[in-house]
Each structure stands twice: as structure tokens, then as C-alpha cells.
């Protein structure tokens, strides 16, 4: 089965959107469409891909404001994708002042309020478009931050929990330093060495490299 990965960098703060493509089924699973759902859908159409699902690692504006345009375009095209997010991120997704889409940091003008089609539990396992996905709650950047482990691809999509040599900020609503440190030590650092970490911003890295070079992994 051929799974390929496309990375798109979107929006004013360079949010990473990851598109896992099943080349046999011609389906795609999108993680964090940033603020350009229209651009993501244009890519899918250009490559003849059906949108099967959209996953959000967390509810901040720079990761989720493109969801309405992406879902609307797909459904107008006769597709039926579902939106997935952590059950503990429901309030943040719903409230523009909490997800910052309704503040000066985001885009203002009332912001964006979302409701997921499926709310996920820690440890839940799914299979969509040939991808086996394990949902790992990794709070800290936000209370409901969730990372998605795809063992067959040796890949972890972690949102803003970990960056190359750094970690996500914790000073926005529902953030917590102590929770972030526990997520790193108990959930991410315990994954196999050669797991690729796909962060919400910046370059990809590996669990091994972060154990060796990231000072926050030593806490």
C-alpha cells in the first residue's frame, strides 16, 4: 500500500499542514489545515484525492481556522469527510477568545468556532484510508492537545507539543508547563528512537535526536 506525505506551510506563522495520501485508494487524511482550507482543497483536487478525514492536534487559530473552508469545499464536491479532535479540546475549539481566532493574535472579526464530528479519547486507535492512527493525549501547550502516532509510517504528528530543539509555549489559555513536561517524558520520549516527529511549526526531527539535543527532554 502506497502512503505518501505532503507538507504544506500555511499562514502568517508558518503552520505545518500534513497530508497523508493513500495512492491506491486516492484518499487523503489532513492534519491541521492551518488558515488556508481553500489551498489545501485545491491541492487535493489537483491530485485527484478524496478527503477522508481532518485531524486537529489542538484548537489554536493558526491550526484550525481553515477547517470551515476545507470541509465546505469537500462537501460541496460530494465528499463526506469527518473532523476529529480531542474530547478535551471541545471548549477551546468552540470559543474564539480561547482559541485566539477572535483576538488580535488571530484574525478578529468574531473568530472561528468549531465542533468536531468525532471527539477522541486518549489511547483510542483508528484506521482511516489505510492509516492506523493511535491517539495520544499530550497536554501542556493546551489542555486538549493530542498527538497522532502512525506506527506503520514511524511517524508522530505532535502539533505544538515539541519542536526541533524546543517545545510549545504554555502561556495561552489552558496551557501548563508541568503538563507539557509530563507529556514529553511519559508520552513522547518513550516512543521508538527512529520515530519521525512532525511538529506544528519548523522542520521535522526524530525522537532520538530530541532525546539527545532537546534540553526539555532532560527534565
What is the mean pLDDT for each group of 10 consecutive residues in the chain (219 residues)? 92 96 97 96 98 98 96 97 98 94 70 96 97 98 98 97 97 96 97 97 98 89
Nearest to 191 by CA among 148, 160, 130: 148
3-state secondary structure of 199: strand
β-bridge mates for residue 67, sequence order: none
Q: Which CATH architecture has domain 3-218?
A: 4-Layer Sandwich (3.60)
Note the pLDDT of residue 1.
Answer: 52
Burial class (CB in 10 A: 0-12, 13-18, 19+), 81: buried
Domains of the chain by residue range: 3-218
Note the pLDDT of residue 188.
Answer: 97
Note the pLDDT of residue 219.
Answer: 62
Note the pLDDT of residue 104.
Answer: 65
The pTM is what? 0.96
Contact 33, 67 (CB under 8 A): yes
Note the pLDDT of residue 198.
Answer: 98
Q: Any idea how long the chain is?
A: 219
Nearest to 95 by CA among 144, 128, 137: 144
Amino acid at each position: 500500500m502506497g502512503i505518501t506525505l505532503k507538507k504544506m506551510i500555511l499562514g502568517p506563522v508558518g503552520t505545518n499542514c500534513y497530508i497523508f495520501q493513500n495512492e491506491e485508494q486516492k484518499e487523503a487524511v489532513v492534519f491541521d489545515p492551518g488558515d488556508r482550507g481553500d489551498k489545501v482543497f485545491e491541492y487535493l483536487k489537483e491530485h485527484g484525492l478524496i478527503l477522508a478525514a481532518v485531524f486537529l492536534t489542538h484548537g489554536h487559530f493558526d491550526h484550525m481556522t481553515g477547517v470551515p473552508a476545507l470541509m465546505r469545499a469537500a462537501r460541496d464536491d460530494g465528499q463526506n469527510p469527518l473532523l476529529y479532535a480531542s474530547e478535551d479540546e471541545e471548549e477551546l475549539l468552540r470559543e474564539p477568545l480561547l482559541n485566539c481566532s477572535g483576538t488580535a493574535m488571530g484574525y478578529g472579526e468574531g473568530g472561528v468556532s468549531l465542533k468536531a464530528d468525532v471527539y477522541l479519547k486518549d489511547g483510542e486507535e483508528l484506521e482511516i484510508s489505510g492509516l492506523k492512527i493511535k491517539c495520544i493525549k499530550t497536554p501542556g501547550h493546551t489542555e486538549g492537545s493530542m498527538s497522532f502516532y502512525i506506527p506503520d509510517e514511524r511517524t508522530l504528528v505532535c502539533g505544538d507539543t515539541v519542536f526541533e530543539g524546543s517545545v510549545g509555549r504554555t502561556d495561552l489559555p489552558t496551557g501548563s508547563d508541568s503538563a507539557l513536561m509530563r507529556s514529553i517524558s511519559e508520552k513522547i520520549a518513550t516512543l521508538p528512537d527512529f520515530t519521525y516527529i512532525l511538529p506544528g511549526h519548523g522542520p521535522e526531527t526524530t525522537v532520538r535526536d530530541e532525546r539527545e539535543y532537546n534540553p526539555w527532554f532532560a527534565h
